[in-house]
Chain A
Amino acid sequence: MTLLDGLWLVSALTALGAGLFGRSPATGPWLTVLYGVQFLLVALMGSLAYGAAPVPASVTFDILGQALSWRFTSLSWFFALITAGASLTAAWFMGGAWARAYEQRGGDLRLLQLALALNPVTMYVLLASGDFLSLFVGWELVSWASFLLMLSAGGVGVRWAMRYLVYAIGGAMAVMGAMVQAYAVTGSFAFGALAAAAPNLSAGALWSLVILLAGGFGVKMGLLPFHLWQAGAYAETPGPGSAFLGAISSRMGLFAMLLTLWGVLGFAVLQGLHVPWTPLEANELLAWVAAFTLVFPTFTALRQNDARWLLAWHGIGQGGYMLMGVAMGDALASAGGLMHVFNHATYQAALFMAVTAVVYRTGTADLNKLGGLVTRMPLSFLVLLVGIIGLAGLPPMNGFVSKWLIYRALIDEGQPLLFVAAVVGTLGTIVSVYKLLHNIFLGQLRVEHETVREVPWSMLSPMLVLSVVVFVTGLAPGLVLDWVASAQRELGLPVLVPTLGGVARPDGGLDMLWVVGLLFAGFGVGALIFLAGGRARTVHQLDNYAGGHFLSADVRYHYSDNFYAGLMHKIGTWYRGSFRWLQDAVVAATDFLAQGAVGIYRSIQPTAWLLGVAVLALWWVTA
């Protein structure tokens, strides 16, 4: 039995345990231990991250003469580590107080535990895919598992889960189309067969493969214009589920895209594929799709008034950075894109958990109904602060490093417009996440929240662990960049040679050890200067300058609604809802065609059918 078999077995046992005993909140800690074992098993395969040979699964199948096989490679391991970490922290967060409260509110805990446990199992199957058939099997399993998790919320969540299902089926059809095409060309579902045939394929055939695979897997990633399902589906899932989905679920799309387009077809093929009537190649086209994906959803996030929705929209936008990085394909950019998968998972899980903690204590994620909670939930504030600095990509957190790598590469590659798009996305994120932090934790504390306490340690500890990871991998990005380098090597991309602190190069490198050290030294000096002043007296929040008015607790003066009034005055009219319009138009057109088909079926006389069939049959026989 290989380690991969062991991982499958333990994760399946976790799901079984969740299904059998998940109803009782008391199983939470035990399940968390099982997730911990999964994490350990993935960690034991760590040599994969340093270039070891793939770990195969003992299970293989033969269906209709086609062999299905599974194995873990460096790339699989990188994504599996994130999956294991995300599921472990989500289950840990859920396992104690949160589960009890969820059950008391009437939530179906068994369904939630089962759905959460099924996600990592199916992802480990997908990540181990060794050919197109096993990839498709894994892909479908992952889709259904995440659908189940979205469904577990009930209520509004069901509507969003159904919308996801429609998109996911569409995506799977596209993937299947690509598989059929690959089979038609090579007569096999093996990756190697298509890889060997790819250089000889015509541009049309290659384009068809690229569009079907990128589009099909892009649905899961929430690439424009297939992104409309994601924010609602992730945001409306119960808290720990959102944290897991937001951290890693949609990245499975990126994994599959990397595996097929980069790994099988090869990056050189993408680079050689010219987009007609433009100066772009296929990889640059993907980078542009990524640019739009990172700008538009980010600015949609800016307009959200629900903390969970805001984060979910940012999750879509951040996927754009990952794709942009790998689509540029040089050593720095692809390392940045891949590292961003890891970084995003760490801070996004922490952010969703912090927001869930707030919901746990206050009962709402509405950004207009909170405020001032920093004095009541200081550690949750700290987690959210670390998380938003990571999400916004500011030093000293890990999100900065991955984005820096991408910016630096875009300068190397001479891509000014993509560079500006990437920076605009970052600026939009900074603006948006400050609103998130301000409206929840800063400003006026409401009367009804004066008795709120910090969440229990069962919820705090995974959040704090994730925050430490966000900080440490920002301080020493070389830890993650080593793993990324192995994945780059596997994908045939140029390999980045990192240092512990980042990248050393004479024409502009980055050493986070120095940067972070100096930043904290600066804070130290700043603190000394600040403390040199007289001793300050802390006053009550109502002891404020209010232009001659007296403030009292019953007056709500927290500035939260339409937070960026000036900005919206300028860009508010730019929000046209074009993608929603497009989606509605497609739905309407499908509806119209379906109605037409029903009408034909219902109204035409049987004699006319008979005549039609007879004419067709005659034509077929004589032709």
Chain B
Amino acid sequence: MMESILELILMPAVAFVVGLVMLLMMRKIAAKIQRRVGPPFFQPLYDVMKLFGKQTQISHGLIHDVGIIVAVGGYIAAETLIPVPGMNGIAERADVIALIYFLMVPSLGMALSAGQCANPNASIGISRALTAMLAYDIPFVIVIFGMAWVYGTTNLVEMVAYQQAHGWGLTEAPLLALAGLFALQGMLGKQPFEIYVAPAEIATGPMVEMSGKYLGSLIVMQCFSLYTAGILYTTLFLGGGVTWIDFLLKAFAVVAIPMTIAFQFPRYRAEQMLASLWKWPVLAGLLGLAVVMLT
């Protein structure tokens, strides 16, 4: 009992720390591509601490606060659904389908929070964020279906066990892996699919009224989302991890791909994002699905 409680506390804690490093990696990659030096190692942590410690904190009402709590809390809970080396959390009690829907809870929290701000720019940002969800989740669920079919289970622990016995999912379903990577780009809100975050000009996105600990919490949420994307992809396609070292290496490699691609691209408009995400990854996904189901 104590052990499982410890797991449930450790899994989100590790997620946060690793997520911070992933955030740092993202900024470093951007800096390398743009020929800058980039931030020091502890910069993401400093940012979070600074934002939480600010004296002026502006709330737009209870739902503004509650939405942020739901956004962060949803991710904290979601981390216990994905098995990591040595810890399964509650992965045996909630499968990958539950996980996909769990991951929509933070989006809903953020949408509630931004909506309550009564700033039309925030609302427009949220309308784009939900449009993006509609865009990337369609190829993503095709990928999930395909991998569940390949492994004959939706239990993430069993998926890892299968891969460690029979080889990676990447080799069994390369097209699905490709589609998954494409969907990941949208899921992380990285260029060219970053219109809903619009981080370069905060005033036109959902974050327009977020300052202080609100923005700080969103950074925490971003750490979780990077980590979740990395380890989920690793679990689905790269055989999970035997030890923490190979597990994290894979997860960092996975997250580095969308980040590297991102900074080569401008931003798509919402309808261009839909067109692109509903075309290429869906085609690759359906083709991959046909291959795994017919062979």
Q: Chain B residues near A537 (CB, 8 Å)? A: 56-59
A416→B59 CA distance, assembly (Å): 45
Q: Chain B residues near A385 (CB, 8 Å)? A: 112
Q: Chain A residues near B74 (CB, 8 Å)? A: 519, 522-523, 526
Whether B73 lies near A526 (C-beta < 8 A) is: yes
Please tell me which one of the listed residues B54, B70, B274 contacts residue A534 in the complex, with CB atoms under 8 A apart.
B54
A532 and B127 in contact, given A420-B138, A508-B153 (Cβ under 8 angstroms): no
Whether A564 lies near B141 (C-beta < 8 A) is: no
In residues 186-225 of chain B, which contact A (Cβ within 8 Å)?
195, 203, 208-209, 212-213, 216-217, 220
Whether A509 lies near B93 (C-beta < 8 A) is: yes
Q: Chain A residues near B76 (CB, 8 Å)? A: 521-522, 525-526
In residues 215-253 of chain B, which contact A (Cβ within 8 Å)?
216-217, 220
A501→B90 CA distance, assembly (Å): 13
Please tell me which one of the listed residues A411, A524, A535, A569 contacts residue B270 in the complex, with CB atoms under 8 A apart.
A569
Residues 108-127 of chain A: 1 if any B CB is under 8 Å from the residue's CB, otherwise 0? Answer: 00000000000000000000
Whether B130 lies near A536 (C-beta < 8 A) is: no
A566 and B269 in contact, given A374-B116, A404-B97, A557-B120 (Cβ under 8 angstroms): yes
| A79 at the binding interface (Cβ < 8 Å) | no
Q: Chain B residues near A431 (CB, 8 Å)? A: 130-131, 133-134
A434→B117 CA distance, assembly (Å): 15
Closest beta carbon of chain B to A565's beta carbon, Å:
7
Q: Chain A residues near B95 (CB, 8 Å)? A: 408, 508-510
A423→B269 CA distance, assembly (Å): 24
Whether A416 lies near B93 (C-beta < 8 A) is: no
Please tell me which one of the listed residues A508, A525, A566 contacts residue B96 in the complex, with CB atoms under 8 A apart.
A508
B interface, over-half SS:
helix
Whether A518 lies near B68 (C-beta < 8 A) is: no
Whether A427 lies near B127 (C-beta < 8 A) is: no
Please tell me which one of the listed residues B93, B123, B130, B158 contacts residue A559 in the complex, with CB atoms under 8 A apart.
B123
| B152 at the binding interface (Cβ < 8 Å) | yes
| A545 at the binding interface (Cβ < 8 Å) | yes
Whether A515 lies near B90 (C-beta < 8 A) is: yes
A427→B139 CA distance, assembly (Å): 12
Residue on A nearest B125 in the bound complex, by CB: A559
Whether B293 lies near A414 (C-beta < 8 A) is: yes
Whether B69 lies near A526 (C-beta < 8 A) is: yes
Whether A544 lies near B216 (C-beta < 8 A) is: no
In residues 110-146 of chain B, which contact A (Cβ within 8 Å)?
111-112, 115-121, 123-124, 126-128, 130-131, 133-134, 137-138, 141-142, 145-146
A522→B106 CA distance, assembly (Å): 11
A400 and B101 in contact, given A374-B116, A419-B145, A515-B90 (Cβ under 8 angstroms): yes
Q: Chain B residues near A609 (CB, 8 Å)? A: none
Q: How large is the interface on A (under 10, 10 to 19, 20 to 34, 35 or more residues)?
A: 35 or more
Closest beta carbon of chain A to B235's beta carbon, Å:
13
| B263 at the binding interface (Cβ < 8 Å) | no
Q: Chain A residues near B141 (CB, 8 Å)? A: 419-420, 423
| B53 at the binding interface (Cβ < 8 Å) | yes
Closest beta carbon of chain B to A448's beta carbon, Å:
16
A416 and B293 in contact, given A525-B73, A536-B59, A539-B58 (Cβ under 8 angstroms): yes
| A375 at the binding interface (Cβ < 8 Å) | yes
Closest beta carbon of chain B to A78's beta carbon, Å:
25
Closest beta carbon of chain B to A162's beta carbon, Å:
36
A445→B116 CA distance, assembly (Å): 10
Closest beta carbon of chain A to B214's beta carbon, Å:
8
Residues 502-542 of chain A: 1 if any B CB is under 8 Å from the residue's CB, otherwise 0? Answer: 00001111110011001101111111011011111111010
Residue on B nearest A403 in the bound complex, by CB: B101
Please tell me which one of the listed residues B51, B61, B149, B269 contacts residue A411 in the complex, with CB atoms under 8 A apart.
B149
Whether A443 lies near B123 (C-beta < 8 A) is: yes
Whether A522 lies near B54 (C-beta < 8 A) is: no
Whether A515 lies near B118 (C-beta < 8 A) is: no
Whether A545 lies near B59 (C-beta < 8 A) is: no
A563→B129 CA distance, assembly (Å): 12
Residue on B nearest A516 in the bound complex, by CB: B77
A288→B101 CA distance, assembly (Å): 23
Q: Chain B residues near A404 (CB, 8 Å)? A: 97-98, 101
Can you give 6 A-B contacts (C-beta < 8 A)?
A385-B112, A404-B98, A435-B127, A507-B155, A515-B93, A536-B59
User: Which residues in A have some Cβ–Cβ distance to B below 8 Å?
Assistant: 372, 374-375, 378, 381, 385, 389, 393-395, 400, 404, 407-408, 411, 414, 416, 419-420, 423-424, 427-428, 430-431, 434-435, 437-438, 442-445, 501, 506-511, 514-515, 518-519, 521-527, 529-530, 532-539, 541, 543-547, 557-559, 563-567, 569-571
* 7 other A-B residue contacts (CB within 8 Å) besides A408-B97, A534-B52, A536-B213: A374-B116, A430-B108, A508-B95, A518-B90, A535-B57, A567-B271, A569-B270
